[in-house]
Amino acid sequence: MARNPGDRIFGIETEFGTLVADETLGSSENAVELIKDYIFYELKLGAIDIHARDDVFEPSHSGGFLMNGARLYVDAVGSHLEYATAECKDLKDVVANDRAGQRQIVRSLHELGLNDAIKIYNNSVDHFGGHTFGCHENYLIRADDDLLNNSMYLFYPFLVTRQIFSGVGRVGGHILTTGRVTPSYEDMMANPVDYIWVSNVYGVIPDDSVDFQLSQRADHIIKTIASRVRFNRALINPKWETMYSHNGMTRLHLLFGESNQNEFAYALKVGTTSLVLRMLEDGRVPERLAISHPLLALREVSRDPSYKWPVDRQAGGPISAINLQREYLNLAMAYKGESEQTDWVLREWDAILDGLEKDPLALGDRIDWVAKRSIVDDYRREEGLTWQDDALHSVDLEYHNIDPAESLFYAYQDMGLTRRILDDVDITMAMTDPPTNTRANARAKLVEKVIQSKSRFYAFDWNGVATDRHTYVELSDPFDPNLPA
């Protein structure tokens, strides 16, 4: 389908943390099964998979596609609830679709009467257990060997420094223990899928030398790129499959990212990343932006309490993360005037960098890590606590509670302290309505058809749907919102 210059498909996958307060409910695995089953069998918001998508990781009835174009499922690795947004090409759509999934989960908990017993968090780290949860970004990019194999190092400088406006913040830090750590027999028997194809296991201990940092994930990233990601987490995980692949394009799967609560930060993160990927495709990013040690820079920027954020370049000496981001921004100005969305990204990118240069801690309306730091710091002072007090981890966690009635972030937003890009009605509509300008729209119609027909045979995937034993509808073009004639 014809598209305008700069159009790109993107989507976000979020792995949710679960806390079960009622012992009668059993484990968190039982809790997420209750939520998933209620959404598909009681609310009938989607068509649950009746066939295994993957015998190990996504067996039958572990989840399915929803009427809003997204996918909700229980991932067998860690048995956590995961929500993948619909394919989107508008920033407002991807944020609304993401928030809609959270509201579906919250609705389920309230209607089940379990909102006091089960808490769901849109965060990316377990402070005490040492686990980290993914918020993975997906972008349709040109399937070009030179781009994927030889140019990604020019993407790393942007990716490791965008946390200055996209980081969600965290109290404390983690150290990954060196050497081979062997899981116990009990652990492997209790969670066998977690250890399939794992060649290395690391341990995690608290790092009390860190009071507060920008990123929840920075301490856990140990590779720039890797295909096996369990205990081998990387910035980028190559994906070669049909989720977004079409007409010489493929999916770029980013592992380093975090679950933004702030709508503005979420949209700016996706918008700026999309523009930088376009510059890479167009060959606009010069060698002078390459940095010496991307993973070292990732952690140093996250942990820098001075907020000066120096980064070492391969040539040309050190540069601040703000100025490095501004280099990418200046290059992206070549696309100014192309669309309203592009102009919004360029304008707000410029404004946020100006604000970070003047006073980072004045940007709590647009940046999660600033808002969280303010909330945690106020609590710390009121209670007379040190940064090493465990109570601060609980405050950190409650910032990410997805229930607006309980979340510290939503309390902050309700006081008018955040800059929003959505209205609540946008989120409500997105609970059942897909984006209208991508193939998610066509697939959603087929989901609704299957639900209404009570079909006993169907199979859904991102790029095609079998509605019965004799009918297969191909949805190969992610930009095409229409069902084939």
Helix, strand, coil tally for the chain in percent (to 5): 40, 20, 40
Using CA atoms, how far apart are residues 46 and 31, in angstroms rounded to an integer? 19
Give the burial class of 330: count Cβ atoms within 10 A of its Cβ; 0-12 exposed, 13-18 middle, 19 or more buried: exposed
Using CA atoms, how far apart are residues 291 and 48, in angstroms rounded to an integer? 45
Q: Helix or strand or coil: residue 126?
A: coil
Tokens of 469: 């034993």
Using CA atoms, how far apart are residues 54 and 73, in angstroms rounded to an integer? 12
Cβ(435)–Cβ(89) below 8 Å = yes
Phi, psi of 337 (to 5 degrees): 90, -5
Q: What is the DSSP string of 358-379?
A: H-GGG-TTT-HHHHHHHHHHHH
Using CA atoms, how far apart are residues 355 and 162, in angstroms rounded to an integer? 14
Using CA atoms, how far apart are residues 469 and 471, in angstroms rounded to an integer? 6
Beta bridge partners of 310: 320
**Pairing state between β 118-121 and 17-20:** antiparallel
Cβ(112)–Cβ(440) below 8 Å = no
Catalytic: which of 75, 126, 219, 365? 75
Using CA atoms, how far apart are residues 294 and 290, in angstroms rounded to an integer? 9
Rg (CA), the chain: 22
Has 304 been annotated as catalytic?
Answer: no
Cβ(251)–Cβ(243) below 8 Å = yes
Q: Of 363, 381, 373, 377, which is closest to residue 417 (Cα–Cα)?
A: 363
**Which residue type is seen at 127?**
H
Q: Active-site residue numbers?
A: 75
